[in-house]
């Protein structure tokens, strides 16, 4: 995220240079979409104006997404829109009609169209929109209407608000106007949340010359130098998995209190309070959470199931592979923190055992496979209804256990020469870098089997069915003994590990301190 010393109203601004290239680069766009957002804390909302110029149809369709990428639930953003008004370039009122998340505006001239509307912003959540007297967080999918094509360049100007001196977003800003951001298309716009207000910027750092920053609201008291030093180690361990940094700048956007975290191409929106760092257990929880959201810029945003982009913003985008996208990211959050030297082998094992118990000690594991859990998340959501709780599972619980088992299996079959890291690197290079698309379930399995050098039918049956995993067999690859007869699933090292068991254990868990 770039830093700019600005003595105007906004003071310090942060902006991120996006990796994406507009499909219309080098061409003159037929339309110009220019948005202006005016914060209105006193009304618990924002006023939005769109000035559309250039070639237009007589009947123009505008749409608001029904969900936001990274949060796999339908969200009725349209219900928050009010006071919708459309005028032509001469100020004449235009007729319009609304149907669900779409507005159709009748336009008989070529004089341009201006839309004005208000958006209620009262959901303090990383996938929602919120404003109070001290700050504003905008999830663009719930704010900005798109037209008949997503591949349309757009600019967004944020009007100043008294006392708010900082602004942050994933978009690049115009060099001539640091209150105006640009996006090459709506996919990038919707992937670039906006944070503004009385914010604090923590001491940033660079990795291979690339700036990494943390900006947030109401973060509390904690050792900022130590925190950012530890965060650098965590990010470095994540980068080491893939061996490539695909962005020009990266930032953590902390919205203060609220809920959750959502990943983006070169940023992540998170809830963060420094008080969580006061105990060793709390510190690990915070570090794991931030590592998870960071690793998503690889695993989801770039290493992704084929269903997760390009998106259909009008309906659900289900996939059976969230146990990989989310579950493996849980596994890697633990590995990143551990490889950064910030957790012990015992703590790493305890984290994984917690996931295993959460999965095994609920009756849902007898009814729902992890691929079904993934595909049906649009129905059940992150907060499962009480009447469905006993027949569902979470891919956040089973996913990391399958990640561990696959890692140990690959190491076993290759004499510890290959690992799950090789799978992730292959997916990144083959599908993101080379083919520039997501992968299918079969393609994912093929890569895993190629890296392992063997058939993985048994392993994948644990994902696609409710077959009980053979924990004893897989954990033994790393010289671990697991008590499957107890609800606590105690995990201990075997007394006399073989040389291969010892190598696999040390490669994953490291030597005990």
pLDDT score of 376 more than 60:
yes
Does a structural domain hold residue 469? yes
Query: Domain of 378: which CATH number?
Result: 1.10.390.10
Kindly report the CATH number assigned to the domain that includes residue 132. 2.60.40.3650
Assigned domain for 498 exists:
yes
Same domain, 217 and 334: no
Out of 28-42, 347-361, 393-407, which region has the weakest mean confidence (pLDDT)?
Answer: 28-42
Residue pair 447/426 in contact by the 8 Å Cβ criterion: yes
Is residue 5 predicted with pLDDT exceeding 60? Answer: no
Q: Are residues 87 and 168 in the same domain?
A: yes
pLDDT, residue 15, reads 36
On average, the pLDDT of the chain sits at: 92
Domain end residue (candidates: 165, 200, 235):
200
* Domain-located, residue 161: yes
81 and 127 fall within a common domain: yes
113 bridge partner residues: 52, 88
Q: Is 442 helix (H, G, I), strand (E, B) or coil?
A: helix
Dist. CA 287–CA 334, nearest whole Å:
9
- 339 by DSSP, 3-state: which? helix
Residue range 236-250: average pLDDT? 97
The pLDDT score that the predictor gives to residue 171 is 86
**Is residue 96 a contact partner of residue 104, using CB atoms and an 8 Å limit?**
yes
Identify whether 293 is part of a domain: no
Residue 239, domain extent? 201-279
pTM exceeding the 0.85 threshold for the entire prediction: yes
- pLDDT-based confidence at residue 177 (cuts at 50, 70, 90): confident
210-216 and 250-254 strand pairing = parallel
Residues 133 and 147 in one domain: yes
Q: Is residue 431 part of a domain?
A: yes
97 in a domain, yes or no?
yes
- Residue labelled with tokens 């671990």: 480
Q: What is the rounded CA–CA span in Å between residue 446 and residue 288?
A: 30
Q: Indicate if 163 and 226 belong to the same structural domain.
A: no
Same domain, 412 and 472: yes
Domain boundary among 200, 219, 246: 200
Does the pLDDT value for residue 27 go beyond 70? no
What CATH number is given to the structural domain containing 252? 3.30.2010
Do residues 477 and 428 both lie within one domain? Answer: yes
CA–CA distance, 88 with 112 (Å, rounded to integer): 6
Task: Based on the fold, state whether residues 151 and 14 are members of the same structural domain.
Answer: yes
Which of 152, 181, 200 is at the close of a domain? 200
Residues 6+ apart with CB under 8 A from 360: 487, 489
Task: Tell me: do 187 and 118 sit in the same domain.
Answer: yes
Domain total in the chain: 3
3-state secondary structure of 311: coil
Judged by average pLDDT, the poorest of 14-23, 154-163, 241-250, 306-315 is: 14-23
Contacts of 338 (CB under 8 A, 6+ apart): 345, 347, 348, 509, 510
Q: Is residue 297 one of the residues assigned to a domain? A: no
Same domain, yes or no: 38 and 155:
yes
**Do 35 and 147 lie in a common domain?**
yes
Is 121 within a domain? yes
464 and 346 in a common domain:
yes
Interval 103-114 mean pLDDT: 87
At residue 116, the pLDDT reads: 98
């Amino acid at each position: 995220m770039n830093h700019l010393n600005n003595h105007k109203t906004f003071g310090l601004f942060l902006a991120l240079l996006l990796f994406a290239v507009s499909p219309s680069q080098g061409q003159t766009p037929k339309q110009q979409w220019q948005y202006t957002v005016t914060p209105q804390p006193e009304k618990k909302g924002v006023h939005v104006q769109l000035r559309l110029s250039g070639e237009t149809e007589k009947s123009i369709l505008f749409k608001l997404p029904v969900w936001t990428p990274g949060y796999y639930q339908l969200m009725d953003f349209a219900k928050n829109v009010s006071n919708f008004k459309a005028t032509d370039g001469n100020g004449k009122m235009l007729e319009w009609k609304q149907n669900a998340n779409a507005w159709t505006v009748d336009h008989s001239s070529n004089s341009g169209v201006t839309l004005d509307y208000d958006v209620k912003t009262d959901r303090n959540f990383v996938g929602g929109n919120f404003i109070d007297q001290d700050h504003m967080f905008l999830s663009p999918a719930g704010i900005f209407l798109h037209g008949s094509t997503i591949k349309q360049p757009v600019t967004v100007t944020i009007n100043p608000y008294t006392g708010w001196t900082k602004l942050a977003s994933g978009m690049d800003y115009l060099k001539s106007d640091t209150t105006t951001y640009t996006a090459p298309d709506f996919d990038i716009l919707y992937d670039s949340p906006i944070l503004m207000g009385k914010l604090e910027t923590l001491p940033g750092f660079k990795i291979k010359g690339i700036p990494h920053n943390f900006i947030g609201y109401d973060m509390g008291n904690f050792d900022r130098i130590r925190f950012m030093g530890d965060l650098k180690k965590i990010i470095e361990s994540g980068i080491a998995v893939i061996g490539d940094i695909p962005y020009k700048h990266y930032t953590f956007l902390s919205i203060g209190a609220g809920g959750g975290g959502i990943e983006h191409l070169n940023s992540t929106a998170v809830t963060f309070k420094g008080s969580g760092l006061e105990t060793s257990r709390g510190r690990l929880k915070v570090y794991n959470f931030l590592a998870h959201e960071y690793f998503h810029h690889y695993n989801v945003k770039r290493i992704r199931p084929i269903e997760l982009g390009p998106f259909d913003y009008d309906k659900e985008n289900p996939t059976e592979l969230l146990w990989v996208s989310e579950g493996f990211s849980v596994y890697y959050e633990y590995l990143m923190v551990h490889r950064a030297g910030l957790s012990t082998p015992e703590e790493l094992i305890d984290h994984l055992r917690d996931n295993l118990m959460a999965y095994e000690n609920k009756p849902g594991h007898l009814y729902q496979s992890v691929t079904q859990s993934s595909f049906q998340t649009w129905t059940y959501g992150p907060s499962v209804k009480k009447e469905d709780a006993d027949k569902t599972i979470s891919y956040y619980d089973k996913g990391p256990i399958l990640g561990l088992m696959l890692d140990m299996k690959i190491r076993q079959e290759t004499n510890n020469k290959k690992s799950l890291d090789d799978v992730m690197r292959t997916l990144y290079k083959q599908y993101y870098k080379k083919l520039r698309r997501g992968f299918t379930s079969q393609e994912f399995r093929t890569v895993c089997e190629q890296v392992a050098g063997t058939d993985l039918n048994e392993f994948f049956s644990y994902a696609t069915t409710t077959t009980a995993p053979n924990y004893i067999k897989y954990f033994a690859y790393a010289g671990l003994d697991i008590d499957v007869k107890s609800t606590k699933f105690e995990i201990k090292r075997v007394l006399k590990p073989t040389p291969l068991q010892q190598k696999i254990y040390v490669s994953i868990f490291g030597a005990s301190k």
